[in-house]
Structure 1
C-alpha cells in the first residue's frame, strides 16, 4: 500500500531533503510540500495525504496551530512532527493538539522512515528525548508491578512505532495476544494509551 506524504517545513533545503529521503522509499509517495502551517492545511484538504511530516516553528503558521486546524476540519491525515525543538511547551502542545508522532531532526533516516510507517498506521512514535519530557505530564503509575520479559519485548517494539500486526509477526503470536499484552502493560504502568506507556517506560528506565 502506498503511503501519501505531505512535507511541511519553512526551510526549503530541509524540506527538499526530507522529501527526497522519503520519496526514495518504495511504498512512499511525496504528494506535496508546504512552507508553513496555513499552507499545510490548505494542501492537506486538496491532496488528502495519509501522513503530514510537520515542522513546528514556522513563520506564517505554526505546526501546532496546523494540527489543531486539521482536526477541527476533520481531515484524515495523521501528523508526524519532525522538528529541532524538544522543549516541554513544544512537545506537549503538539501531542495535545493531536499529533500522532514526534521525532527530532537528528533522527537517523531509518527512524524517520519507520516513524512515517507507524504514523500512517496511527501508531504512536516518540523519540526518547521527547518521551522523557512527555512523561512529566503523564499520570504517575498507580502500581509498581514489573513487566514480564514478553511485555518488555512488546513495549520495545511499540516504542519503535511498530504496528500491532507487525509485532505479532515478529514475536510469532496472534494480534489478539499483542493487544492482551498491551492491556497488561497499560495496567502495570498506570496509563491508558501507547504514547503514555512509552513515555512512562523511558522515565522509569524500562526502555533505554
Structure 2
C-alpha cells in the first residue's frame, strides 16, 4: 500500500517550446497507471518552475528551447543541482550529447521517437532518482566499443555492479560484508579511473552508461 502511495504522488513539469508536445506529454501522464500529475508546463525553465511547478519531483526537459536551437546545458545543470530528477526528452539522437546530459546530472535521456511508454517509465524512475535506459540509448551504448576502457579490479567491478542493482550504498555494504566507507572508496577509485581516460562519470547514471558501454553490465540486469 505504501509503495502505491509513493507511485501515485509522482509530479512533473514539462518544458518544451512546442505547445503540441507539452499537451501530448500531459495527456500521456494523465492516462498513465499510476498517473503522473503535471504541475506546470512552459516554453522556458523560468516559466515552468514558477509556483506550483517548483514542487515537482521530475522535470521533462527539451534540450533545444531557444530560437538559436542550441542545447540548454546550463539550464539542465541548474535543474539537476536543485535536486530535481531531470528527464531529457529531445529530437537529438547523438550519443555524445546523451552522455554529456548524463554527466551534467540528467537521470535519463530519451529521443522523442521513443514515445509514451518509455517517457512514462522514465518519469516514474526519475521520481525515485533511479536510472532508466531506453532502447535507443541501450543500443548505442552496447554497440560502442571504446579503446580507452579503464582497467578495473574484480572487486571494483563487483562493488560497481552491486551499487547499480541496489537502492543504497548501505545495502551494498551489507551484501558484501564491508563498510559503507569502503564502498565509497571503491566507487571513488572507479570514477578516478574513468576520469583518467577522459570519460568522466560524476553521477550514478553517467557511470551506469559507461558500464553498459564497456560490457560490465547489461540493461536487463537492473
Q: Give the structure-1-normalised TM-score.
A: 0.66
Which of 41, 48, 60 is the aligned partner of 1:43? 48
Deviation of 1:199 after TM superposition, in Å, equals 1.8
Structure 1 residues 136 and 117: CA distance shift in structure 2, 3 A: farther
Which of 132, 144, 152 is the aligned partner of 1:143? 152
The higher radius of gyration belongs to 2
Indicate the residue corresponding to 2:74 in structure 1. 65
Deviation of 1:144 after TM superposition, in Å, equals 6.6
Indicate the residue corresponding to 2:180 in structure 1. none
Which of 161, 164, 167 is the aligned partner of 2:167? 164
SS in 2 for 1:16: helix
Q: Does 1:202 align with 2:205?
A: no
Q: Does 1:96 align with 2:103?
A: yes
Measure the CA separation in 1 of the matches of 2:92 and 2:73: 12
Measure the CA separation in 1 of the matches of 2:163 and 2:117: 20
Structure 1 residues 176 and 93: CA distance shift in structure 2, 3 A: closer
Structure 1 residues 207 and 86: CA distance shift in structure 2, 3 A: same
SS in 1 for 2:113: coil
Indicate the residue corresponding to 1:169 in structure 2. none
Deviation of 1:177 after TM superposition, in Å, equals 3.9
Q: Deviations over 1:31-70 (max 9, x none)?
A: 11112xxx22343143211111111122258442321343
Q: Does 1:127 align with 2:138?
A: no
Q: Give the structure-2-normalised TM-score.
A: 0.62
SS in 2 for 1:164: coil
Measure the CA separation in 2 of the matches of 1:51 and 1:87: 23
Q: Deviations over 1:72-107 (max 9, x none)?
A: xx6332211011213244223322332222122232
8 Å contact kept, 2:102–2:205: no
CA RMSD of aligned residues (A): 3.9
Gaps spanning 5+ residues in structure 1: where? 158-162, 166-174
Measure the CA separation in 1 of the matches of 2:113 and 2:59: 18
Indicate the residue corresponding to 2:3 in structure 1. none
Which of 3, 15, 19 is the aligned partner of 1:8? 15
